[in-house]
Chain A
Amino acid sequence: MKTLIIGEIINNNLSSGTLEILGKAKSLDLDVQVVTVGSDENPSIGLDLCKQTYLKRQNNSLNLSKAATKISEIIKNEEISLILGSSTYMCRDLISFLSVDLNSSPVSNVIDFDVASGNVSTVNSINGGESLYKTKINSGQALLLIRPKAFDPVEVNFNDDFETIDLDGSDLEVFDIFIEEKSGPQLEDSKVVISAGRGMVDKENLELIETLASKLNAAIGGTRAIVDAGWMPYSQQVGQTGKTVKPDVYIACGISGATQHQVGMKDSKFVIAINKDEEAPIFQLADLGIVGDTLSVIPKLNDNI
């Protein structure tokens, strides 16, 4: 099946989400090409295993709708049947625009898909991962938004062999571009993640988490509730609307375990949960559950590690 993956660039390289989708597409033996949208000057994104096209945006204007129009053109010219993108801000915008152009509703939050006798079928996780929802796509083109960490990334060698198409800017000028400083272990690739929830009571108590994280070389995450409350930047949110993590050890501190949060962490290998409420749903996911006050347990951990 002729397949187009919308690629995304992080730190001058293809994002892990793009490589994960490419891994799945290769395992299904799909006839795949990548069209990457970004604004980096000289990214290293040429691929040894399939065609790569770079749609270069200007970062001082919001012109994703123009990128979508270009991708629509490629899809129509090359008779593409399957269009795949990661559930990121950019790909959600692009796939949504394309769905109108192609008059084909997309499927969001896909965790698995298959192609059999010309038909695409998908699996989504619903109710915080308690159930799997299966769909068959009956339109000529299928558009899927795929959750990060759903598949293993492809092994690939990068080169400089790709075509670049410069996109026009739009009238919507973008200014004050701010890049969040990233220091310490990152959520996506850290072997240990410590996450904080409302049970930490106060923003100042996050210092306890920071101390523990530095001892365990862990990345720090948080629930939507504390991100909305302004205790942590959005980039640290774990859950449905935030990041998906899959560390070896996940330590949930004062997190009740709303389905929104579970979606982002339930595939962690070993889960340790500390919560006052014995009935908290997080304990259903925990390999080791401590029923107790996080604010008294963590200081003891910090003193003894």
Chain B
Amino acid sequence: MKIAVCAKQIPDPANEVTYSNGTIERPEEQVLDDTDRYGIEVALQLKEKFDAEVTIISMGPSGTQKGLQQALQMGADKAVFVDDESLKGANSLMTANVLSELAKSLSADIVIFGTESTDGYSGTVPQQVSRYLDLECISYVKAVEINDNVTLTRQTVEGSEKLNMPEKCVISVTAGGVEPRYPNFKDIMAAKSKPIEQVSISDLTINTTQNLEFIDIETVENSKSGEKIVDEGEAYQEIVNKLKELKVI
């Protein structure tokens, strides 16, 4: 079984996202998007049961490759990435086009994603990749049971439903769906000798265009500068008074 897991390098989420001409500014050192750790964890659990090969696929400025290293530290076997100036500000469809080409080049049976990135959160790339690859998409997986069969539980609008994982498909895993493992010192050292390969965009078939044109970013004044009271034991009374004034009670 060959598994491709998508991992995105993003600016450290502790810092506020900044934009330049409509595109997120990316420092040299980016980190692994926590959202992707859930997908990687599912891939590693499948690897343990079915002896699969797990390859990280990624698109975007590679920089110090810290985020890719973090994905390998968790236990993936290798990483391939595309980093090309022409992809700067790529829309979700173009991103999906590139990632599906990478998955194809690896002959991946199973392609796994988080549900949406923390920096862009368009939340459409896993489904788009499945359509490019002509595979079924099992989206919003929130629980995985691995026996002889693999049973996936999907989140639905009204609750949940279960499916058996087919031999080939695309999966997106929700945050909290599984418990991502923490690498130990040995894992961190081992990751350093794992292969990371850059793939040239000219080796891929890309036929999407930039149909979304950035116009403007406008800052809105959110701050309400409401009343702020330090509780010295009686602040609840302020809430009670306010709820009465608002006719809630």
Q: Classify the interface of chain B: helix, strand, loop or mixed.
A: mixed
Residues of B at the A interface (CB closer than 8 Å) are 16-17, 19, 22, 91-94, 96, 115-116, 121-128, 130-132, 136-140, 142, 153-164, 166, 174-176, 207-220, 222-224, 226-231, 233, 235-240, 242-243, 246, 248-249
A174, A224, A286, A305: which contacts B240 (Cβ < 8 A)?
A305
B208, B217, B249: which contacts A216 (Cβ < 8 A)?
B249
> Which range holds the interface residue count of chain A?
35 or more
Q: Are A230 and B176 in contact (CB under 8 A)?
A: yes
* Distance A216 CA – B247 CA, assembled complex (angstroms): 10
* Distance A274 CA – B93 CA, assembled complex (angstroms): 42
Taking A135-B214, A175-B162 as contacts, is the C-beta distance between A108 and B228 under 8 angstroms? no
Question: Can you add 20 more A-B contacts, CB < 8 Å, to A104-B93, A289-B226?
Answer: A64-B137, A68-B131, A89-B140, A108-B124, A130-B219, A130-B220, A135-B213, A137-B212, A138-B212, A139-B209, A145-B123, A172-B163, A179-B158, A270-B242, A287-B224, A291-B231, A297-B239, A300-B236, A301-B236, A305-B249
Residue in B126, B132, B239 with the greatest tally of chain A CB atoms within 10 Å: B239
Q: How far is the CB of B125 from chain A (nearest CB, A)?
A: 8
Q: How far is the CB of A175 from chain B (nearest CB, A)?
A: 5
Q: Classify the interface of chain A: helix, strand, loop or mixed.
A: mixed
Q: How far is the CB of B67 from chain A (nearest CB, A)?
A: 20
Q: Which residues of B contact A174 (CB under 8 A)?
A: 161-163
Residues of A at the B interface (CB closer than 8 Å) are 8, 10, 62, 64-65, 68, 87-90, 92-93, 95-97, 99-101, 103-109, 121, 126-127, 129-139, 145, 170-180, 191-192, 215-216, 224, 227-230, 234-235, 240-241, 248-249, 251, 262, 266, 270-272, 274, 278, 283-293, 296-297, 300-301, 304-305
Taking A100-B96, A289-B227 as contacts, is the C-beta distance between A241 and B115 under 8 angstroms? yes
Q: Which residues of A contact B209 (CB under 8 A)?
A: 103, 139
* Distance A35 CA – B2 CA, assembled complex (angstroms): 38
Q: Are B228 and A291 in contact (CB under 8 A)?
A: yes
A93, A127, A305: which contacts B243 (Cβ < 8 A)?
A305
B140, B174, B211, B223: which contacts A105 (Cβ < 8 A)?
B211
* Distance A101 CA – B96 CA, assembled complex (angstroms): 13
Q: Are A101 and B131 in contact (CB under 8 A)?
A: yes
Q: Are B122 and A108 in contact (CB under 8 A)?
A: yes
Q: Are A290 and B239 in contact (CB under 8 A)?
A: yes
* Distance A296 CA – B234 CA, assembled complex (angstroms): 10
B166, B217, B236: which contacts A304 (Cβ < 8 A)?
B236
Q: How far is the CB of B36 from chain A (nearest CB, A)?
A: 14
Q: Are B242 and A288 in contact (CB under 8 A)?
A: yes
Q: How far is the CB of A67 from chain B (nearest CB, A)?
A: 12
Query: Which residue of chain A is the closest to B122 with respect to CB atoms?
Result: A108
Q: What are 10 of the A-B contact pairs (CB < 8 Å)?
A: A99-B93, A105-B93, A134-B215, A134-B217, A227-B176, A228-B175, A241-B174, A292-B230, A301-B236, A301-B240
